[in-house]
Chain A
Amino acid sequence: MYNLQLSPEQLEIRDTVRDFVAWEVKPLALRPERLEARMRLMLTDALDKASQLGLRTLALSEDAGGAGADTLTSCIVTEELALGDPDVAAVLAQTSMLAHALFDLLMTPEQRARFLPSFLVDDRHHLALADHEPDRDAALGIHYHRPERGEAGVKTTAVRAGDAWIINGVKDRVANAPLAKLFAVEVSSGANGASLLLVPRDTPGLSVRESDRGGHFHHGACGELAFKACRVPVENLVGAEGESPLAGDAARDLPQDSALNLGIGRAAYEAALAYAQLRVQGGRRIIEHQAIGTKLAEVAVRLEVARAAIWQAAWACDHPEAFADRSLRDLPLTRIAKVFASEAIYHATKDAAECFGAMGVMRDMPLQKYVHDALVCLHSGTSNSDAKLRIAEALAGYRRPANAAALAAE
């Protein structure tokens, strides 16, 4: 049953994270050097403390040593973290999501035994998925409502040599790359589809380069991986050869991404609301002016409706049976939430910043950063233009042959 009453556990974890952010993250995130959008250093201390709170292993099952949080709980946590710092939120969300996917769902018991213990004990052990390559044309505009042409295959190769795979190629836009100690890498091994290989960071032949923020829009830390005759044991294959379980968009464009966006919007909203109750112009607090009151109301409307869409998408991920019994329409709810939330929240952060007058564009104040961060969300992941085309395909019941599995996961 669709139920928006949070469980006592969910409320408790939300409050814990909220306190943690207020005391440990926000003060660091508001330091002047962090307010510059272009170059900001990762808050590694905050990441360490968040790991000690269990947020790095949030979605990992309790059996495996995590908190076993579902998608909705992960969204609640990510929103709270992003209220303080979107980079910290992005890194933790990625590691937590991949920990659940890899350790709980995809690895063999033998693989788990090899990789899980070191992951659990090390607060700085993060995970990354390398599934993007330079010059990959992902734009749907060129094959909307048509089968994809076969040219978009994976170019990074893995060749079998005895009891090892030899990997060659380049991956880019890899979220968490600068921090990750274990990579799941999509490769072409000669089979029809892509295969997934586990590559520890210290494997000879693998080099990692952190990418700057001018390369593409992203929160968190991103990087490029170069493989030169990089050798991993045969046993590092995840799933069957040619059947990467994380192919397509299965691990991209999650409700957590929109929850992160929502946290940014809320940071702007909370700042504007506080300021509007302090600042006096026109003989009264500015919130008492219709112009500002209406603006703040619109910000609140956008954020609340965005949250409803995001939570519905998250709940649907946790309750796939709700599609089967027709409680939910068979639509890509995560995409729908992302398109709405990213546009609404960008608008909301701009309105919130406007309440600050000239201070809203000053780099030593956080409002311009919130606007920038919301703009980054608007343009990260699958573009909204593409997302709308995919939603349209879904409305028409169009099933893309190559991506049928991915669509089901949306």
Chain B
Amino acid sequence: MDFTLSNEQRSWQMTARKFAEEEIRSISLERDEISDPSETFDWEIIKKGSRLGFRTMAVPKEWGGHGTDFVTQALVMAELAKADSAISKTFSQCWKWSHLIAATCTDEQKRRFLQPFLEDDTYLLGKGISEPSAGSDNRLPPADDPKAGLKLRAERQGDDWILNGEKCFIANASVGKLFFIDARTDPNAPLKQGTTMFLVPRDTPGFRIGKVFNKSGWRFYQNGEMIFENARVPHANVVGPVNGSDMKTQQAGDRTGGDLFGDLELAANALGVCDDACGMALRLARTKKQGRRLLFEQQVVQLKLNRMHLLTEALRSFVMRVAWEHDHKVHSANPGLCMNFSTDVIQEVSEINLDLHADAGVMDPRADKLVRDAIIWSHLAGDSVQRMKATRRLQ
């Protein structure tokens, strides 16, 4: 067993740490506090991060990207999330789908979409699955209800497909330039056999973005509505076979075209938030006094700090192991289990941090923000469903 990082991994980590501390942290709270959810985004931080490679780092080298391994990606996500969880997620959301492009798109599609993605600092990616009446049903389709799941309809018309319907909660919806859209191409087949994935550029006729959802946490991150009214998408934009959207998980497998990377992504992001919370709590305990004595001297405080750190370090071990397993193409239930674990850990750690501050009479808006960001883990990833899904990989 060797936990040493290579020089390249270390270098990415240090660049991310510096960028996070010098650029992200200073805007984190200010962006969080903006009350209009469509105004929280900041293009300057995206452009700066993009120039350092944080937007495109997951694109393979042969296609002009940085071809970083999963260990590096986990390190960078955690470093960025330590300064702002939602900003880190905005970058890594692009990696998730550049994994998908690399794993599933034809060379012609890669030329059309990967090239502009690499060249434009403001080119963000997203993927539309959830719909108002189909959330968990897409993640864990019920065997006894073949009609369940997404309803967005795509019908062939010559060389084009015509899309009609709605998506909701879609990440990067209001800021993305290219989206992977799952649509029902055979309404009579069950979800996995009747769904096709399409590449839908933002300027597609008949396609528009609705409202941006007003979340209590992850406020920088743009989750929006998508509306398709006779949206016309060329057949050349179909990803993989028609009625074969499911191939992303089957074939991509260890290349993690979405699903498995998504688990590592949330877990690594949570680790960064936990590091931040531990840092805040330790600083408080070492500097704040009650009755002329440092908080650190109180047993109750020591026990809380202990709990925060043991959970965070356990999560770090798990995250790095899953990243290493991705790099070594090891199949297991670990990515899902790690993501489930990260949900428990990020919430407990951020809550203890808030607790320590409140007990000391210190109202720190950042402690409050970390708790709100942490609660997102139970909601945007469908917690119980994700747990059962991970368990089924053990079968």
Real binding pair? yes
Interface residues of A (CB under 8 A from B): 36-37, 137, 139, 141-143, 149, 151, 214-217, 280-284, 291-292, 295, 350, 353-354, 356-358, 360-364, 368, 371-372, 375, 378-379, 383, 385-386, 389
CB distance B354 to A282 under 8 Å? no
CB distance A361 to B144 under 8 Å? no
Partner of A354, one of B134, B217, B301, B379: B379
Cα separation A371 to B263 with both chains bound (whole Å): 25
In the complex, B314 has a CB within 8 A of chain A: no
Which of B8-16, B100-108, B197-205, B360-368 lies at the interface with chain A? B360-368
Residues of chain B contacted by A389 (CB below 8 angstroms): 300
CB distance B214 to A291 under 8 Å? no
Cα separation A214 to B140 with both chains bound (whole Å): 41
Please list 30 pairs of residues, one from A and one from B, whose beta carbons are closer than 8 Å in the complex, sorted by A's number: A137-B290, A139-B290, A139-B361, A141-B298, A141-B301, A215-B363, A282-B140, A282-B145, A283-B144, A283-B145, A284-B145, A291-B388, A295-B384, A350-B347, A350-B375, A353-B378, A357-B135, A357-B379, A357-B382, A358-B168, A358-B379, A360-B379, A361-B215, A361-B216, A361-B375, A368-B216, A371-B216, A372-B216, A375-B354, A379-B358
Residues of chain B contacted by A283 (CB below 8 angstroms): 142, 144-145, 148
Residues of chain A contacted by B137 (CB below 8 angstroms): 281-282
Q: With A214-B365, A216-B363, A361-B216 known to touch, is A143 a contact of B148 (CB < 8 Å)?
A: no
Residues of chain B contacted by A354 (CB below 8 angstroms): 378-379, 383-384
Nearest Cβ distance between residue B108 and chain A, in whole angstroms?
35
Residues of chain A contacted by B134 (CB below 8 angstroms): 281
Q: List residues 149-191 of chain B with CB under 8 A from any CB of chain A.
A: 168-169
Residues of chain A contacted by B145 (CB below 8 angstroms): 282-284
Residues of chain A contacted by B298 (CB below 8 angstroms): 141-142
Interface 1/0s, chain B 352-387, versus A by CB < 8 A? Answer: 001100111101010000010001101110111100
Partner of B291, one of A149, A371, A375, A379: A149
CB distance A216 to B361 under 8 Å? yes
Nearest Cβ distance between residue B40 and chain A, in whole angstroms?
12
Interface residues of B (CB under 8 A from A): 35, 130, 133-137, 140, 142, 144-145, 148, 168-169, 213-217, 223, 290-291, 293, 295, 298, 300-301, 347, 354-355, 358-361, 363, 365, 371, 375-376, 378-380, 382-385, 388
* Closest residue of A by beta carbon distance from B357: A379
Nearest Cβ distance between residue B339 and chain A, in whole angstroms?
15
Cα separation A364 to B135 with both chains bound (whole Å): 19
Residue picked from A137, A353, A358, A389, most chain B C-beta under 10 Å: A358
Partner of A379, one of B169, B354, B376: B354
Additional A-B contact list (10), CB under 8 Å, known A291-B384, A361-B376 = A37-B216, A142-B290, A281-B135, A281-B137, A282-B145, A283-B142, A350-B378, A360-B379, A362-B215, A379-B359
Nearest Cβ distance between residue A392 and chain B, in whole angstroms?
11
Cα separation A372 to B369 with both chains bound (whole Å): 12
Q: 6 smallest A-B Cβ distances: which pairs?
A: A283-B145, A142-B291, A379-B358, A291-B384, A368-B216, A282-B142
* Closest residue of B by beta carbon distance from A32: B214
CB distance A379 to B355 under 8 Å? yes
Residues of chain A contacted by B214 (CB below 8 angstroms): 362-364
CB distance A137 to B382 under 8 Å? no
CB distance B216 to A363 under 8 Å? yes
Cα separation A283 to B142 with both chains bound (whole Å): 6
Nearest Cβ distance between residue A361 and chain B, in whole angstroms?
5
Cα separation A141 to B304 with both chains bound (whole Å): 13
Residues of chain A contacted by B169 (CB below 8 angstroms): 358
CB distance A139 to B216 under 8 Å? no
